[in-house]
Amino acid sequence: MERVGVVCGLALEAALIPASGPWRALCLGPGPAAAEQAAHRLLDEGCAALLSFGTAGGLDPALAPGTLVLARAVIADQEDGSLVPPYRPDDTLSAALCGRGSGVHEGTVVGVSHPVTSPEAKARLARRTGACIVDMESHAVARVAQARGVPFAVLRAVADPATRSVPAWAVAGVDALGRTRAGAVLAAVAVRPDRWADLVALARDAGAAKRALRGVWRGEG
């Protein structure tokens, strides 16, 4: 397999990618701008394909935390509410990834510029787009792949499910470079003990997603 550039929005996601083999992981932070920059850099360094890899928010209530989702289409939700027609992932690269996890769900991924954090917002986005998960990087990776004429794929694991609310203090637990700010999260919870239950639930969801993502690379590295 030719070298595949793996774009991640979080440093802990990139750390799961084996150092050996055809994979080259890069995290420049969450969001489409950082993902686009990372995708271009990976291609400039000689990668022949791109993979958007990491966690995602669930839009389909049937998808539990830790469910792996392989994109069959990627759409972008624009700031003005319009939708960019779907980008189509590469069948060959997607098929190679599909066999790496158990119970992989296939569906549409929608990309956004800002976190979608409430069950109500997730439900509205699901109705408008028909997507099963949402993230902030895959549409940027797809756009770069199309512009540069290279294949791409998307493999994500559900972290926060459709019914889970992600509080602002939890979102603030990731910095602009995709690094976890555990101290900031613990400080936010310390001043409001009623937040502990939310933190435990979010940590449980994130743990399930991380285990699923780690399993993709079992036997490598």
Domains and CATH numbers, the chain: 4-216 (3.40.50.1580)
Position 219 scores a pLDDT of: 59
pTM of the model: 0.94
Tokens coding 153: 């794929």
H-only helix segments in 45-135: 91-98, 119-129
CB 68 within 8 A of CB 16: no
Q: Which residue in the block uniquely carries the two structure tokens 């150092």?
A: 19
Position 65 scores a pLDDT of: 98
E-strand stretches of the chain = 4-8, 23-27, 49-58, 68-77, 83-87, 105-111, 133-135, 152-158
| Cα–Cα separations (whole angstroms), residue 148 to 122, 142, 144 | 31, 10, 6
Mean pLDDT by 10-residue block, N- to C-terminus, for the chain (221 residues)?
Answer: 94 94 96 99 98 98 98 92 90 87 89 97 96 98 98 98 96 95 94 94 97 86 51
Single-letter amino acid code for the residue at 15: A
Position 81 scores a pLDDT of: 77
CB 72 within 8 A of CB 89: yes
CB 93 within 8 A of CB 121: no
Pairing mode, if any, of strands 105-111 and 83-87? unpaired
CB 190 within 8 A of CB 182: no
- pLDDT tens digits, 10-40: 999 999 999 888 999 999 999 999 999 999 9
Position 220 scores a pLDDT of: 64
